[in-house]
Amino acid sequence: MLQTDVLIIGAGAVGCAIARELTKYQLQVLVVDKNEDVGGDASKSNSAIIHTGYDAPPGTLESQLVVAANPMYEKLTQELDVPYKKVGAILPAITDEQFEMLPALKEKAFKNRVYDVEYLTGEQLLAMEPNLNPEVKAGLYIPRENIIDPFLLVVAYAENAHQNGARFLLGTKVTGIRVEDGKVVAAQTTAGEIKATYIVNAAGLYCDEIAAMVGKNDYYVNPRKGQFYILDKNTSVKVNHIVLPIPTKVTKGKLMCPTVHGNMLVGPTAEDLEDKQDYSTTAEGLASIEADVRKLIPKVNLKDSITQYCGLRPNRNPEGLRVDTYDDVKNYVNLSGVRSTGLTASVSLGKYVAQTLIEMGMPAKFNPNFNPIRKGIPRFHELSYEEKDALIKQNPLYGKVICRCETITEGEIVDAIHRPIPARSVDAIKRRLRAGMGRCQGGFCGPRVIEILARELGVSTQEILKNQPGSYMIAGQVRGERVMANV
């Protein structure tokens, strides 16, 4: 039977950040996730913005965590070798009604102690963003709203936690929690029972189901779907900043922003659902994005879309981000309502949960061997000619470009497959390296990635998965040719 000091349920941004934080102490840490890879559910399908917390509900835990987290990202992304770009956000008021709302938004920012939010004139905004609606009256500038690679953030948290001693048990679902004498003692999983002194519920969309396992049924979670367009890097109409709409009472609205890799992101919708598996994009949802974003960027060219996707925000009912502990279920920490800002809050939630466990009595002896530095796979396309040449001499596989759209080499793919948290599926490669994320969406490199995965994992190409069990990429053979199943 597996045994650990702390068991974390969920290997999304939050679970992995908590794991990394806990490896700063002399503890056994085990992360379990039902998915076959780290990366979570919501953590891989969001807007990739590191928020300031300017618009969080003032006085809440969410405000506290997001405001605290934002300044940590510069150092964190350097330590973890994660792409992060300081772009800033603008909030333009196009109508008179929106103009009237600016003072209240600035006051909210002030209440959240985000003091660097400033007014800008319409002229200043147009100078910063020439593609903005020319009718813009004025707006706000939020200089520290920035963008990150969300996939690599989670992989990097996990790899650094692993490097410092944390273990990961993936493809393993928690099905029950054993509570004895008012204290958690073990989790039942599809891989057997895991004895644990402390259990942390970081299960995102499913945190209510985990909470119910310890008898806590005081809230439920429904998915709030957010659909997006991703535009080609060469789209004719771009923005340099995160261009945010003035929020309404119901939604933060749909934005347009660059990604750290140079694409444009347009969306998301906010649709309340019941089905936690509904990852469909819909004609209505995409049409609503177009209608709304055109009010901000009238010439946005959605024909340059290379793909669309959707994410499900874990919407807590009743609302609010919470970290709960219970007198009648000791040694258990329950996270819920980590909804729209959890990517940002992950780093401060890691610290908050560690402190919560310490206050519960968890021994907190500093681990003097903790190493905060994680070195990622070399990003070939970012290197100088001299660096590329040296890398190819060292490993000739770096001289073979597999993904032509993103210039990803065989060397990078092979490295990703053999990392401590290995990439074992087509999507796992895509999220770590961007092979298949470019204009052709894997049309050219897909079959080569499958062949490399099969070769390195020592299996047949027919066994290679897109992501989850059963998601085979190759259906079979027709006249000696392989037939792609999932592209």
Ligand X SMILES: Cc1cc2nc3c(=O)[nH]c(=O)nc-3n(C[C@H](O)[C@H](O)[C@H](O)COP(=O)(O)OP(=O)(O)OC[C@H]3O[C@@H](n4cnc5c(N)ncnc54)[C@H](O)[C@@H]3O)c2cc1C
User: Among 65, 243, 296, 338, which residue sits at the site for ligand X (rule: CB under 6 A)?
Assistant: 338
Instruction: Tell me whether residue 12 or residue 436 sits nearer to ligand X (CB atom).
Output: 12
Instruction: Tell me whether residue 136 or residue 203 sits nearer to ligand X (CB atom).
Output: 203
* Residue 268: CB minimum distance to ligand X, A: 4
Our finding on whether 174 is near ligand X (CB under 6 A) is yes
* Residue 46: CB minimum distance to ligand X, A: 3
Which of 51, 162, 241, 418 is flagged as catalytic?
A: 51
Instruction: Tell me whether residue 71 or residue 134 sits nearer to ligand X (CB atom).
Output: 71
In the window 49-108, what residues touch ligand X (CB under 6 A)? 49, 51
Instruction: Tell me whether residue 11 or residue 464 sits nearer to ligand X (CB atom).
Output: 11
Q: Which stretch binds ligand X (CB under 6 A): 87-95, 138-146, 196-204, 390-398?
A: 196-204
CA end-to-end span of the chain, whole Å?
40
In the window 202-261, what residues touch ligand X (CB under 6 A)? 202-206, 210, 226
* Residue 113: CB minimum distance to ligand X, A: 18
Question: 51 an active-site residue?
Answer: yes
* Residue 95: CB minimum distance to ligand X, A: 25
Rounded Cα distance between 464 and 474, Å, is: 8
273 in Cβ contact with 279 (< 8 Å): no
User: Among 7, 48, 414, 433, which residue sits at the site for ligand X (rule: CB under 6 A)?
Assistant: 48
User: Among 2, 6, 8, 14, which residue sits at the site for ligand X (rule: CB under 6 A)?
Assistant: 14
In the window 311-330, what residues touch ligand X (CB under 6 A)? 311-313
User: Among 4, 21, 30, 41, which residue sits at the site for ligand X (rule: CB under 6 A)?
Assistant: 41
* Residue 62: CB minimum distance to ligand X, A: 10
In the window 444-473, what residues touch ligand X (CB under 6 A)? none
User: Among 342, 376, 411, 442, which residue sits at the site for ligand X (rule: CB under 6 A)?
Assistant: 342
User: Among 2, 4, 21, 47, which residue sits at the site for ligand X (rule: CB under 6 A)?
Assistant: 47
User: Among 12, 92, 378, 438, which residue sits at the site for ligand X (rule: CB under 6 A)?
Assistant: 12
Tokens 């060292």: give the residue.
394
Instruction: Tell me whether residue 47 or residue 425 sits nearer to ligand X (CB atom).
Output: 47
Q: Which stretch binds ligand X (CB under 6 A): 23-31, 298-306, 342-350, 472-480?
A: 342-350
Instruction: Tell me whether residue 311 or residue 378 sits nearer to ligand X (CB atom).
Output: 311
Query: Where in the sequence numbering do the catalytic residues fall?
Result: 51
Give residues in contact with ligand X (CB under 6 A): 9-15, 32-35, 40-43, 45-49, 51, 173-174, 202-206, 210, 226, 268, 311-313, 338-344
